Structure 1
C-alpha cells in the first residue's frame, strides 16, 4: 500500500556512505520541492524513528542491505565531501512527519510505505530546534546486512584487496575522522574475537574467522588514513531483552585515545581478516622475460626447415660455391 509520493535524492559521498534529501510535490505548482526532514512532533525526534527511516532508505536504494548505520555530523563543522555548514544549515524542510516504524513485517521496502506529511508552508525555513537537534542534512547513512539497535562507534567496516569478498585488509570509517573517509586498522591487540565480530558485521561466515598478517593483503597507500591504531571494545546490553549480544566491531569498538594523534603502529602492521578461514595467498611476482635484439641482448637463433642457422642452403644456378 502506497502512503505517500515522497522522492529520494541520495548522494554517495564515500563508499557506502550516503546523504539524503527528500522531495515533495508542491500542491499548487506540481513541481518537486527538495529539502530535509524536520519533525514538528517531539515524539518523532527519537533514535527509533530515525533508525526506521534510515532502514527504509537503505532498503530502497540497495535492495539487499536493508539496515542502516546512522552517523550524525556536526552542524558547524566543515567536511571536504559535504556542502559547507551554512548551506546545510539553511536547507529548507519539506517534511514535518515521516514515520517508517508503522509497517508490519519488518523494514519498509521503500519510503512510499511510510506515513508522511509535507511541511506547511512548503518549503519551510529550518527551525532552531531542527538545527540544534540534527535534521537530516547532518546525518549520514551506511547500509548493512544486519540491524544495529544502538548507535555504532564506527561508521562502517569493509574488507578490501582480497581475491574475494570474504577476506582482505580491514578498513573502517571512524566518526572521529569522518572527513577523511576510510582508514586502515593496525591495532596490535586485534585478535580472533575481533575478526569474528568484523565478519558478523558484514554478514559473512564468522566461526572460522582468522587474523591475517599484513603481508597477506595489499598494503594501503601512504596517503591513506590510519583510522584505528589501538582499540577498546565494550559490549552493550540488548535494549529489549536481558541478553548479551555477540561483539560487534562497528558498534562496540573504538580507538582508545580519542583525539590523540600519536600512532602505535603503521601500515606495515595493517590488519587483515579472513572470514571463511581459507585464504588465496597472492602469487609471487614472475621473473622478468629475457630481452633480445637491439634492446639489450643478442637476437634469438633462427632455424630454417633444414636445420641450418638462418634458413635453408641455396641450391641451383644462383648458389655461391
Structure 2
C-alpha cells in the first residue's frame, strides 16, 4: 500500500464532518480557506456558516459593502483577509462572469490567494493535481522523512513542496490533500502526536529516532512589538465619536476611537501634555474615569490599552481629524477591532 493509499484510508475513517468538505463549489471552498487562514477550525466554523448564509454566492458577496464584510469578520483578526475577499469577489463577478474559477492558473491571479490556497481550491473543487503545503503538511513531511531544513526558509519551502508533489495521488488529488491536512491536524499534532496508533509508525523517521519534538525546524520568529495606547471615549447621552483607521497599520479600514500612542507605558500626566490632547480638548472637557490597562495579543504585536472617558471636546477636532459622530445605538453597524468593540459593549451595557 502506497503512502497516499494508507493516508486516504486513515482519512476516511477519522475525518471530521465539515461543511466545506461536502461540496465542490469553488466559491464556498474559497470562503472556508480564507477564513481558516491563521484560524482554528473551531473558531472559523461559525464565521463560515454566517458568511455562507449571508452571502451564498459570489455575486451577493461582491455586492456587499466593506463595512458589512468587516463587521461580520469582527473577532477573526487579520482584517486584510476580509478586504481582499471583497476585491476578489468583485473581480470574479466582473471578469469571470460571476463563476468562481477552479483552475490553479486563474486562482493564483486573484487578490489574497497564494500558492497554498490556489492549490487547495483547485484540487478540492476540480481534482486538479496540485499538492497543498500548509503548517500541517510541513509537520507530517518533516517528521515522516526526517527533514530538518527550516520550514520557513526559502530552501525549505522548495524542498517540502517537491516532496509533497512527489507524494500526491494525482488521480485523487483533492482527497489526498484533504487527508494530508487532516492527518496533521488530528494525528500528527504539534504537541503530543498520537504516535502509538499512527499508521505510519513503523516507517516514520521522527518516531523511530525519537525526534518527534524536534521536527519540524523553524527559524526564530520576529521580535514581538509592544505598543501603548490611550483610547478616548468622547460621548454624551446619545452620541459617541469614532474614527476610521487608515490602511497603513493594524485594523486597517475598521473603526476605532480617537487615540494617542506612546512608545512606552506612561501615566496620564504625559497624555495631558501631548499636543494632540491639547488640540482635541479644552478647559470644559471633563475626564469621567480611566480604565485599567488592558492587554490585547496579536500575532506579532502586544497592545496595552487604557480607555479615557471624556465629556466635551473641541468641535474643530471632528472636522480636522475626520471623526464620526454617531448614535450609540448604531455602534453595531460599524466594523471594529475586538478590543474596542468588547470594551464599548460593556461600557454601553
- Tell me, yes or no, whether TM beats 0.5: no
Q: Which has the higher strand share?
A: 1
TM-score w.r.t. the length of structure 1 is 0.23
TM-score w.r.t. the length of structure 2 is 0.22
